[in-house]
Every structure is written in C-alpha cells, then in structure tokens.
Structure 1
Amino acid sequence: MPDTAPPLDLDYVHSQFPGLRDDWVYFDNAGGSQTVRGAIDRITEFLIHRNVQIGGSYPTSRAAADALMEGRKAVQDLVGAARPEEIVFGHSTTVLMQTLAAAMRSQFAPGDEIVVSTADHESNIGPWERLREFGLTIRYWPLDPATQRLRTEDLLPLLSDRTRLVCVHHVSNILGQVNPVAEFARIVHDHGARICVDAVAYAPHRLIDVQAWDVDYYVFSLYKTYGPHTAVMYGKYDLLADLDGLYHYFYGKEKVPGKLEPGNPNYELAFAACGIADYLAGLGTRAGGTGPRRARIETAFAAITAHEDRLTDRLLDWLATRDDIRVIGAARNDDSTRVPTIAFKVAGRDSAAIARAMDGYGIAIRFGDFHSRRLVEELGEDGDNGVLRVSMVHYNTIAQVDRLTAALSEILAEVAA
C-alpha cells in the first residue's frame, strides 16, 4: 500500500532545534525533548522587550499581557480548545494535577469515588490518592494482564452513582499504547462523572482535539513537547469556573484561568508556546498544509505520525529478532496505535549497566521506572534497575535507530562474552 502521508521535511526540522548541533543521538525525549528555536526566541524577546508585570496601563505592561494571551492562544491551537481562557499554565504536569485536585476538593463529599489506573504516571495517581483523608474512595482500573491494555469492560464495574472522576493516561510513558480517550470520555460521562487525562506521553506525537474527544481536563508538559520547562492544563471553561480559586481571596470564581495560577504563570515560558505552535504550523506548510494555524498543525502531525511509525517499526522489528529481549507492552505497531516510546528488558542483564554503556556510543537512553513505579512493580519489572526505554520523536531518524541497534548488539555481545 502506498504511503499517502504528507512528507516530513527533516532538513527543516533539524535546522529548528539548536540542541541537535552535536553528534549525540537523543533517544530520551519522553523525559524532555529538545527546545525549538522559535520558543527560545520568544523567551529572549520577552525578557528583553516585555519583562514587566502585566496589568499596567503603560505600553510595556500591555505588551507583556499580550504575550501571555498569545501563549494561551497558541496552546488553544495546539489542543483545539474553544477559547484561550480554557488554558491554564503551571510549572509541570505534576504541579497542575495537584492544582486540579486541590481546586476540586470542595466538590467531593465523603463516600464519593475516583477511579485511577496503576498504569498511570504517579502525577495522575498521587494527588487523587491524597484525597482519601477527606473520605473519598479510590478505585483502581486494572490492566488486562494478557494485552497490558486498559479495557472498557474492566472500567464499567468500577463506575457507580458515587463516581465523580476518572483519571487516565492517553499514552503510558512505558507501554506506549494510545488509549481511546474519546470512548473512555463517553462512558464516563454516561455515568455522570468527569474525566482527567494525562497527555504527557501523547502530546509530542499526535494531534490533540479536546473538543472532539469531549475530555474535561487534559494536561501535559511543554518541555516534552518542544518547549521550555513549563506545562499546560486544558479544562472546559464552565468546569474551570466551578473550581475553587487557589490565588488570593479577591480572585473570584469567575476569574478564569488566573485563579488557578497563583503567583501568576511564568510569562516568558507561556509566550514560548507561540514558538511551538508556529513551528508546527510551518512544518505543516512544508508538508502541503494551508489555512489557519490549527489546520496546518493538523497537517504537520499527519507527517510526524507517518515518520514516527517508521521509526517505531524499525526498532520493534529489530527487537523481535532478539531472543534475549522482551518488549514491555505491544511488540507491534498495528494500525498506528503505538507511539515511539518503547520499553524493553534484556534477560539477565542490568538495565542501568546497558544504558550507561550506551553513553560511550553517544546515544542517550534511560532506565528505571520513569515515575510509573506502580506499573513497573505490577508488571514485575522492577528488578535489575527496571526497564530500558528508547523514546523517539520526529527529529530522530532511521539512521539513528540503526546506530542504536548496532551499539546495542555490540554491548550485549560484550556482556555475554
């Protein structure tokens, strides 16, 4: 079958990431991607030309306020939100999940129930677990042991008339499988509850469409999506308005989203989101996209997905040839349902030793549990320093995958000898 996906201009891609100037291969992108040049430029512009507090009447303060709103509009285009006020900035996904849990607490009563999954990053478990002290019940949605996937038939028995919230990941940062969040949202809403999605491991790879999926809250980190160290939370406007404010007492419930950004967001990092959106739109233009920024971002992600599928298939095909390697999660990328975040275990080998040996080849990978400790323990993969993880994004290449597999072959041969 011919490949009909729009082309990805890799020369342009590589020219936009200053951090790719050396010979290192960065396969640890799920921990933090390289930052696109446009985001860096926005930070510099703000700090030189707009670096004052918003809210003043003078031109520089108005320019600072404009920068913050431009950042919200950029993320609005990235996620497909209805309005820029639905975008909340925060230091990290972990912090934003804690912010959401604190702002929702008065909506819960003793005996109410929240559903979480052990397959999630701890950021989307811990804040909800801590609500037990207020009388809430936390129920765990189990992985299917045969497929290592979340199934709706395992969710349904957990839902009751006391279920208030379901918390789930769009993609596990270890299993790499894309969950059908639109289907999950429909089921959750049919039971009168709301859904909170951790999208950290999804956002760098695929187009986000929060309105089409009808998710209530959607959270991810920009520093893993080609930006600086900050994060964003989308929330439906009416739901954000109903949350308790976490800022000063005179920030009323109607002050959305400011009441959820105590101390104000980091202005220059929020402004940097414009660089991410504009880069993806430019990439979409080179792939044949036209129209407004959101439409061109959609074209960009079509090209990104096709390229990343090739990276995923290349590595999975090689791993399948090794009798001593076991992939964690799906070992195939059927119907493009896997992102190029691939964890695996080498039989009888220490994961830390292999990752450190890879440093000598100029290839950055990682080992451990990646703050998905409950999942790694549930799978019984916590021994020998956890799992190895290769996490690729669209600026990686087939040649780099081949460089990785050649290095890994040498390392394992040396260990075996």
Structure 2
Amino acid sequence: MLDINKIRADFPILSQQIYCKPLIYFDNGATSQKPKVVIDAITKYYEQLNANIHRGVHKLSQDATDAYEISRGKVQNHINAKFPYEVIFTSGTTHSINAVANGFASILKTGDEVLVSALEHHSNIVPWQMLCEKTGAVLKVIPMNEAGELILSEYDNLLSNKTKIVTVNHISNALGTINPIEYMIKKAHEVGAAILIDGAQATPHLKPDVQALDCDFYVFSGHKICGPTGVGILYGKEEWLRKLPPYQGGGEMIATVSFEKTTYADLPHKFEAGTPNIEGGIVLGTAIDYMNEIGFDNIASYEQELLEYGTKKLLEIEGLKIYGTAKEKASVISFNIDDIHPYDIGTIIDKLGIAVRTGHHCAQPIMDFFCIPGTIRASFAFYNTKEEIDIFVEAVKKAKMMLT
C-alpha cells in the first residue's frame, strides 16, 4: 500500500495552483514530476561537486567521477545488466536509438530488412527510415489491430533471414499497450536478428530485467522516471556494443589520436564522447533510488487501480471513445468525444488546472490507422489520485457541454 499523501508531499510542484485551481497533472507520459530529493540532489551537485569527470587529477573531479560511476552502477543493478560498461549514458531515448541505428549502418546492406511496429513513437521510426535510406535496407512494419495490439501472426510472417534488427516499444506512449516483448525477442533471435526495446514509457511503471528478457538493446529516458531532463540510458549487450562503431567522435571516447589514425576507448567511453550531462547522470541514480524505495510492484498495482477507475468513469460520458483497449495496458487513457477536436477539450480543461496531452503524441501512424487527428491522453502516475480523476471527468463533461 502506498501512502499517497506522503508521496504527494515529496513533489513541490503538485501543491501549486494553475489558473487559481489546484494543479492536476495527467501528462506523465510526456514527463514525470520531480521529488524534492531529486531537486535537492541537482542543487547539491552544483553547490558542492561541480567539476568535469574522468580527466582531472584534483579531488573535485575525482569525487564527481566517482558519483557518476556510482550512478552507472545503480542503473546496472536496476535493469540487471551483466556489466556496468553495458550501460551507456546518453541524452535520452532518442539519442540512444539513433546511436544504435547509426551503428547498424556499418552492418546492413541492400535488401536487408528492419522491422518496426505500427505502435512506435516517431523517435523509433525516423532513425530507422534514415538508416534504410542510407544502406538500401527495407523497412517493414508489424501491423496492429483495432484494440491497439500488435498482430503477432503477422510479426511471425515478416521475420526471415533478411531481418537484421527488430525495434519495438515496451509500452505504447499513445495507447498504453504493453507489448509481448518476451515473445518478440525470442522470435527475433530465432532468425538471428537483434532486437531493440524502447523502454521510455515502460520504465516509469515497471523494472526491466534485461538479462531475463535477453534483449540486445534497451533504451529509456531519465525524465520520465522522476529524474532530470537531458539524460538517458542505452543498454546494449557487450558483444553488440563492441561490434558497433561509435556514434560521435570527440574527447573522452578515444584511446589515441594522431592525424594519421585514431583508436577508440573501451566501453562504455567509446559511446560517450564529450563532456556529458554530469548532473543528469548522477541525479538519475537518485531518482532510481527514490522509485525503488516506493517499490515498482506497489507502483504497478496502484496505477492499475487508477487505470481501471479512470476508464470506468470516462466511459460513463456519452459519445466518448477510448483508443487502445489492449488486454495488457499501462495507466494511459487516450480518448475522443464525438466529433470534438481533442485540442479544444484540452484547452478548456487546462483553464481548470488540468494538464493532459492532446494531439498525435509523436505517433502519427497510430492516428492515421484510426483516421483521427489525435486524441486527448490522460497518463497517470503513482502520485495521482482517484479524487483527481473525478475532477478531471467533471471537467471533460463541462468541456463537452461547452463545445456541443
């Protein structure tokens, strides 16, 4: 059981008012709010520890380096990576995906195939399109059904010895669908393909075990799990990280440099060119500690309650349709009401202090599938309440009345 009042007190932003109304923050799929312990850790870094890392012989630099590498170890333990050097700090999920896609440019040839799913965020579509344009590989799409679930029989049919990498999100940001990634990983490996899992929307709700999953790559962002923006993680199996070339060249990622030849540093530094987001990397560890203290089993159980409660309440509104009715879902509800544009409802309820996301959620192919311009998306976190959902539902009813 979670002490929701105690948890909410950890988040200073939740006590403020928007347009003279208490803030109700249901845009957690875009970014999570930050607990005081994370905010304090950011301040502490700049007040007491600010120095560049991995280079200086002075104490401040060494202390900052130690803190950064301790955080890498926390991430390793959190996702159960086999080695700390399989954990690469990036600027976020998008950076992580691009790093892998760029690396595969040295592997793919004309006629090879890359599989993406119909449920992907643009960040997990565009880099692979760019890769295929560069290499002559073919991009193939795993289709979805009306419930927002991937059609696994079609996935099985698409897989072949031409498939070199499969890339799929763990949880859909637009619909909340939890994909059967264990099955998809197993099937990809049966044809000798690598597989990348986009965990940006999954890591706020669950604790991935990359060794148990046996995925080749798993990527996520810090800002969605109560950490700072501008920091993310690329997990890769050691064999793949050694095989792929670095994404960027510069300082820190080199062993030796001459005008004739450059050799690269060992993992993880091979993929960490330049001065990193040191504060972000260190404080990501603080955020992971905070969420593990609450407990991901507790988080998942409570958010499931919110999902079921919110779904029931919203479906009482006449003309409301939910998009994404998969059997396995995270705490995301995407919906529209009759022919009302989602932006109009979002604008009205914003004036009532309620933050939701409207639009295509950087998942335009999903909206095209349903022949809609976008949806209203309410995404719940462990610091939200059923009382907030009640206020939200009444606000949606009011917006509907005003717009019809």
| Structure-1-length-normalised TM-score | 0.89
Whether 2:396 is the aligned partner of 1:403: answer no
* Counterpart AA for 1:88: I
The residue that corresponds to 1:319 in the other structure is 314
2:224 and 2:254 mapped to 1: Cα distance? 34
The Cα of 1:322 is off from its aligned counterpart by: 2.6
Query: What whole-Å deviation, never above 9, does each CA across 1:32-70 have from its counterpart, x for those lacking one?
Result: 110122222222222222211222222111111112102
- Alpha carbons 1:227, 1:273 under 8 Å: kept: yes
Query: What whole-Å deviation, never above 9, does each CA across 1:124-182 have from its counterpart, x for those lacking one?
Result: 111011122221111111112x4321132111111111111001011111111111111
The residue that corresponds to 2:269 in the other structure is 258
Helix, strand or coil at the partner of 1:327: strand
1:250 and 1:413 mapped to 2: Cα distance? 62
Helix, strand or coil at the partner of 1:48: helix
CA, structure 1 residues 77+10, in 2 after alignment: closer, same or farther (shift >3 Å)? farther
Query: What whole-Å deviation, never above 9, does each CA across 1:179-233 have from its counterpart, x for those lacking one?
Result: 1111110110111001111111111111211111111111111111111102211
The Cα of 1:254 is off from its aligned counterpart by: 5.7
Superposition pairs for residues 88-237 of structure 1, below 5 Å? 88-133=88-133, 134-144=135-145, 146-229=146-229, 230-237=231-238
The residue that corresponds to 2:19 in the other structure is none
Consecutive unaligned residues of structure 2, counting only runs of 5 or more, are 17-21, 256-262
Question: Which of 16, 33, 38 is matched with 2:10 structurally?
Answer: 16
Between 1:83-92 and 1:177-186, the stretch displaced more is: 83-92
- Alpha carbons 1:38, 1:272 under 8 Å: kept: no
Query: What whole-Å deviation, never above 9, does each CA across 1:68-98 have from its counterpart, x for those lacking one?
Result: 1022112223322222211112222112211
Helix, strand or coil at the partner of 1:149: coil
The residue that corresponds to 2:48 in the other structure is 49
2:50 and 2:308 mapped to 1: Cα distance? 46
The residue that corresponds to 2:278 in the other structure is 267
Consecutive unaligned residues of structure 1, counting only runs of 5 or more, are 1-6, 284-299
CA, structure 1 residues 393+280, in 2 after alignment: closer, same or farther (shift >3 Å)? same
1:404 and 1:81 mapped to 2: Cα distance? 40
2:35 and 2:205 mapped to 1: Cα distance? 15
- Alpha carbons 1:37, 1:275 under 8 Å: kept: no
2:314 and 2:160 mapped to 1: Cα distance? 42
2:60 and 2:299 mapped to 1: Cα distance? 38
* Counterpart AA for 2:393: T
1:152 and 1:370 mapped to 2: Cα distance? 24
The Cα of 1:415 is off from its aligned counterpart by: 2.3
Between 1:305-314 and 1:151-160, the stretch displaced more is: 151-160
2:388 and 2:137 mapped to 1: Cα distance? 48
The residue that corresponds to 1:280 in the other structure is 291
Helix, strand or coil at the partner of 1:160: coil
Between 1:120-129 and 1:90-99, the stretch displaced more is: 90-99
Q: How many aligned residue pairs are there?
A: 386
Superposition pairs for residues 356-367 of structure 1, below 5 Å? 356-367=347-358
User: What root-mean-square deviation, in Å, do the aligned CA atoms of Structure 1 and Structure 2 show?
Assistant: 1.6
The residue that corresponds to 1:352 in the other structure is 343
Helix, strand or coil at the partner of 2:106: helix
